[in-house]
A and B are shown apart, each in its own frame.
Chain A
Amino acid sequence: MSVSQSFATSLSSSSSAFFVSSNFISSGYGVQNVPFPAKSIGVVKCVAAPQEQETVFKTKVPRNSNMAKLQAGYLFPEIARRRNAHLLKYPDAKVISLGIGDTTEPIPEVITSAMAQKSLGLSTREGYSGYGAEQGEKPLRAAIASTFYGNFGIEEDDIFISDGAKCDISRLQVVFGSNVTMAVQDPSYPAYVDSSVIMGQTGQFQKDVEKYATIEYMRCTAENGFFPDLSTVGRTDIIFFCSPNNPTGSAATREQLTQLVQFAKKNGSIIVYDSAYALYMSDDNPRSIFEIPGAKEVAIETSSYSKYAGFTGVRLGWTVVPKQLLFSDGFPVAKDFNRIVCTCFNGASNIAQAGALACLSPEGLKAMYEVIGFYKENTDIIVDTFNSLGFKVYGGKNAPYVWVHFPGQSSWDVFSEILERTHVVTTPGSGFGPGGEGFIRVSAFGHRENILEACRRFKQLYK
Chain B
Amino acid sequence: MVRIGQVITLGCISHVAFCGELVFPQLVLVQMRMVEHLVDSHGFRLECDAWVYRLLETLVRGGGFHTKVPRNVNLEKLRNGYLFPEISRHELQHIEKYPNAKLISLGVGDTTKPIPQIIASHMANYAFGLSTDIGYKGYGPEQGNKALRKAIAEVFYKNELVKDTEVFISDGAQCDITRLQLLLGSNVTIAVQDPSFPAYIDSSVIIGQAGHFEDNAKKYQSIEYMNCGPQNNFFPDLSTTSRADVIFFCSPNNPTGHAATRKQLEELVEFARDNGSIIVFDSAYATYIKDDRPRSIFEIPGAREASIRLGWTVVPEELLYSNGFPVIHDFNRIVCTSFNGASSIAQAGGLACLSFEGFAAVQSVLDYYMENAKILVETFASLGLKAYGGRNAPYIWVHFPGSKSWEVFSKILEKAHIITVPGSGFGPGGEEYIRVSAFGHRDAILEASRRLKILFS
Contacts and interface: CB of A to CB of B under 8 A. Distances in A.
B322 A63 contact: yes
A259 interface: no
Contacts of B115: 122-123, 128
Contact of A59 (B50, B67, B322): B322
Which label, helix, strand, loop or mixed, suits the secondary structure of the A interface? loop
B321 A63 contact: yes
Given A103-B138, A315-B343, A330-B57, 14 more contacts: A61-B184, A61-B322, A112-B129, A113-B131, A116-B124, A120-B124, A167-B338, A170-B337, A179-B73, A180-B72, A310-B136, A331-B54, A343-B199, A349-B171
A291 interface: no
Contact of B245 (A62, A170, A325): A62
Q: Which of A175, A328, A332, A343 has the most CB of B within 10 A?
A: A343
B203 interface: yes
A325 B175 contact: no
A87 interface: no
A228 interface: no
Contacts of A64: 183-185, 187-188, 330
Contact of A269 (B69, B81, B111, B185): B69
Interface stretch (A66-74, A276-284, A405-413): A66-74
A169 B337 CA distance: 10
Interface stretch (B38-46, B155-163, B369-377, B394-402): B38-46
Contacts of B121: 119-120, 123
Interface stretch (B7-15, B270-278, B292-300): B270-278
Interface of A: 56-68, 70, 73-74, 76-77, 100, 102-109, 111-113, 115-117, 119-125, 127-128, 130-131, 134, 155, 157, 163-164, 166-167, 169-170, 174-180, 190-191, 194-195, 198-200, 237-238, 264-265, 267-270, 297-298, 310, 312-315, 323-332, 335-336, 339-340, 342-346, 348-349, 351-352, 355, 445
B345 A327 contact: no
Given A59-B276, A174-B207, A345-B174, A330 B54 contact: yes
Given A63-B323, A64-B185, A313-B341, A343 B171 contact: no
A104 B82 contact: no
A314 B66 contact: no
Contacts of A340: 206
29 contacts: A57-B305, A59-B305, A61-B277, A64-B185, A105-B136, A119-B349, A122-B114, A123-B119, A130-B111, A166-B339, A179-B73, A198-B182, A199-B182, A200-B185, A315-B344, A323-B41, A326-B66, A328-B68, A329-B54, A330-B57, A330-B64, A335-B38, A336-B72, A336-B75, A339-B82, A343-B199, A346-B175, A349-B171, A445-B138
Interface of B: 36, 38-41, 43, 50, 53-54, 57-58, 64-75, 78, 81-82, 84-85, 108, 110-117, 119-121, 123-125, 127-133, 135-140, 142, 171-172, 174-175, 177-178, 182-188, 198-199, 202-203, 206-208, 245-246, 273, 275-278, 305-306, 318-325, 330, 333-334, 336-346, 349, 439
Contacts of A60: 245, 275-277, 322
A130 B441 CA distance: 13
B64 A61 contact: no
A198 B337 contact: yes
A63 B337 CA distance: 18
Contacts of B117: 123
A110 to B, nearest CB: 9
Contact of B72 (A68, A177, A445): A177
B39 A157 contact: yes
Contacts of A121: 120
Q: Which of A61, A174, A335 has the most CB of B within 10 A?
A: A61
A106 B345 contact: no
A313 to B, nearest CB: 4
A195 B132 CA distance: 35
A330 to B, nearest CB: 4
Contact of B337 (A74, A155, A327): A74
A66 B131 contact: no
Contacts of A111: 131
